[in-house]
Amino acid sequence: MVGTANNGRLRLAFSLVNGSQDLDLSSAPASNAGSECGGIEFTREDVEALVNEKMKYKNKFNYKERCENMMEYIKRLRLCIKWFQELEGEYAFEQEKLRNALELTERRCSEMEVALNNKEEELNLIILELRKSLASLQDKLAKEESEKKAAVDSLTKEKEARTGIERSQASLSEELEKVQGELDGANQRIASINDMYKLLQEYNSSLQLYNSKLQTDLDTAHETIKRGEKERSAIVENLHTLRGQHKSLQDQLMSSIASQDEVMKQKDALLNEVACLRMELHQTLEDREHYQQQVQSLAAEVSKYKELATNSSELEEKCLSQGNQIQILHDQLAVAERKLQMSDMSIFETRNEFEGQKKLIEELQNRLEDAEFKLIEGEKLRKKLHNTILELKGNIRVFCRVRPQLPDDSSSNQAKVFSYPTSMEYLGRGIDMTQNAQKHSFTFDKVFMPDASQEEVFVEISQLVQSALDGYKVCIFAYGQTGSGKTYTMMGKPGQPDEKGLIPRSLEQIFQTKQALQPQGWRYEMQVSMLEIYNETIRDLLSTNKDASRIENGVAGKQYTIKHDANGNTQVSDLTIVDVQSSREVKYLLDRAAHSRSVGKTQMNEQSSRSHFVFTMRITGVNESTEQQVQGVLNLIDLAGSERLSKSGSTGDRLKETQAINKSLSSLADVIFALAKKEDHVPFRNSKLTYLLQPCLGGDSKTLMFVNISPEPSSAGESLCSLRFAARVNACEIGTPRRQLNMRTSESRLSYG
């Protein structure tokens, strides 16, 4: 382990080592204050000179002098050995330092990769938003091009009409000239044909009137042509503006791509730096092997000198002294070997400790796998117990919610109409209504008083929403009179996060649970559709075709067909289905559907829903570890409000809407009564609503109904009818809910089961 000086340490002349003076720790350079050898370094020649050094004595029998010289020689040998040990320790320290730097660099690289992945996800979201805006701009451009084409067609028609008018005017002029010629030729017969002349004068005046009318039409056509040219220029300007916006969006996209390339370059630079550090570590290991080989060569030379001492008879005295020296070196070598063995033992202990840590890590990993397996089993047990509890509670559950008094309501006391029992048996489940001094008591699965928040309401149905992810069909619908708060319960107030309804909160829970189940191996795909039933006609609220969703004279532009299959699934033909990945995408679709939904004003409600709104999400889940597949359906329905014509004051189109709403709700009541009586025939086909919800009401679905009640005394009669209907629904017994396992199909149509 000898070689050239490195690490910038000071190399002293060997005479300082070979001299008679003692080396003290205080004589070392300040930079090596912690070293026992100070700033001294040894080369191969120094070591050979130290080994080959001959003892010189003034007196052969002066053992004291010989002992002092030997002690000095031993001190220098110890100094050399300590230098070798320190050099080896420094190499080990440098190796550990490089290893730590490598680990630090790898950690930084992993952090950069995570940051890069996050940046890539953000860029993907930005690209998705840009694509959506580009699609909307393309739709606007197509719309404007179609309008431009229609304007050009109308302009062409007007030009053709103008040409026809000019032709008719020319023919009339020729006819007028002909008549005037006939009048000049018949001047001699004017007296005899005065009557004929009067008729011709009348005909001439009518022609003049017709000519003036044609001239007026011609002026109107000119004005229409000018107006069309102005609209055409405005359309061209809008087209240039849209193209500029499109170009700016492309520039933003290119800048995002450039920033991503810069991040990739930084990552490559870090990888190159890691590679350089690994090469330096490899070079250090090679230097260490080289020094070990030199130590072995020195040991071989020592053995060679030993052989020369035994074979030489002429240098007996010298051999004796050198034999002693060699013995001392052997002792020192033995000490070094013992230290080497101790270091090997420490390495062995370190290796054993590493093996123990490795076994501990493996044991912890096994325990983690067992815990994850127990967690999966516990989740299965929770789902089973939860579904068993829901089955014991009944397939059709009913919640009652009384809306609070609004500023527009009458100032009468609400307590005169509704009261809530406080006994333990009916607390939170009972509601009493007083009408005409007569008390009516009802009991449901849950009763929400007017001060109940949207969060409290959602907590009660959150486990039911979870069942959709577990592979069950779930249906939640709101029933009640107009103005009782059904749409508020289902949708909430736009722009107020604290007052979000059941539909937005259910979507947030589904996507949060989807994210939480990913470590357990679950992967979900989700599809969404939205429709409304308006005047017994189905409308697709997500359709981009305006002609298909337009309603003229109460008849939709496209007819949709409801079909049921053998598995209890319901399909609607040609319905728009959208794949969704986040609650943000579903919120965008909900806002789009809300703008397309049919609403109107009545005397009972300023913004009354005039149709039944049906939101459907189909959930397909696959567990990659257990190879288990589930398919669930979540139906969230906001029914149109029932109302009496005497109170709503509906006329015209509102009258037709009210009649259609009351008819469909009456059909729903007939279905519920038939199910309650367990009749053989259930009239599902009496309306589009009941036929669409047939699997929810009479199949294997978990169904929950919200009956919404208005607190106004003037609505007491309608509230009593709603409560009686809800009580009848709560008494119904339908089929047992069935979890859909191993039923992943390629059919892309949504099921309303």
Q: Tell me the C-alpha to C-alpha distance, in Å, between residue 121 and each of 27, 131, 464, 560.
A: 63, 15, 32, 39
Cα separation, 253 vs 126, in Å, equals: 9
163: which residues sit within 8 A by CB, 6+ positions away? none
Cα separation, 110 vs 62, in Å, equals: 72
Dihedral of the CA atoms 495, 500, 504, 508 (nearest 10)? Answer: 100
Give me the residue label for tokens 């209907």. 725
Q: Confirm or deny that 394 is annotated as ligand binding.
A: no
Cα separation, 207 vs 209, in Å, equals: 5
Neighbouring-strand partners of residue 533: 538, 612
Helices 44-52, 194-311: inter-axial angle, 10-degree rounding:
10
Give me the residue label for tokens 């009456």. 666
Closest residue by Cα to residue 473 from 586, 616, 604, 595: 616
Q: Confirm or deny that 27 is annotated as ligand binding.
A: no
Closest residue by Cα to residue 542 from 613, 636, 641, 632: 613
Q: Is 165 left (phi over 0), alpha (psi -120 to 50) or beta?
A: alpha
Using H for helix, E for strand and C for coil, what is the string for 592-617? HHHHHCCEECCCCCCCEECCEEEEEE
The two three-digit tokens of residue 672, written as one number = 């519920």
Q: Confirm or deny that 537 is annotated as ligand binding.
A: no
Phi, psi of 3 (to 5 degrees): 180, -165
Cα separation, 261 vs 269, in Å, equals: 13
Neighbours of 268 (CB within 10 A): 9
Neighbours of 398 (CB within 10 A): 26
Cα separation, 332 vs 338, in Å, equals: 10
Q: Is 7 left (phi over 0), alpha (psi -120 to 50) or beta?
A: left
Q: Confirm or deny that 487 is annotated as ligand binding.
A: yes
Q: Tell me the C-alpha to C-alpha distance, in Å, between residue 132 and each of 136, 138, 592.
A: 6, 10, 14
Cα separation, 73 vs 67, in Å, equals: 10
Cα separation, 278 vs 197, in Å, equals: 121
162: which residues sit within 8 A by CB, 6+ positions away? 218, 221
CB 612 within 8 A of CB 527: no
Q: Confirm or deny that 304 is annotated as ligand binding.
A: no
CB 233 within 8 A of CB 79: no
Q: Confirm or deny that 480 is annotated as ligand binding.
A: yes
Phi, psi of 653 (to 5 degrees): -65, -35
For the chain, give the longest Cα–Cα distance. Answer: 189
Neighbours of 37 (CB within 10 A): 23
The two three-digit tokens of residue 516, written as one number = 């939480």
CB 676 within 8 A of CB 395: no
Q: Confirm or deny that 163 is annotated as ligand binding.
A: no
* DSSP single-letter state for residue 741: B
Helices 316-393, 194-311: inter-axial angle, 10-degree rounding:
150
Phi, psi of 34 (to 5 degrees): -85, 0
In 496-636, which residue ranges form alpha helices assigned H by DSSP?
502-516, 546-549, 583-596
Q: Tell me the C-alpha to C-alpha distance, in Å, between residue 234 and each of 80, 128, 148, 157, 752.
A: 96, 31, 10, 21, 47
Cα separation, 653 vs 299, in Å, equals: 112
The two three-digit tokens of residue 358, written as one number = 């490795």
Q: Confirm or deny that 359 is annotated as ligand binding.
A: no
Known binding-site residues for ATP equal 480-487
Known binding-site residues equal 480-487
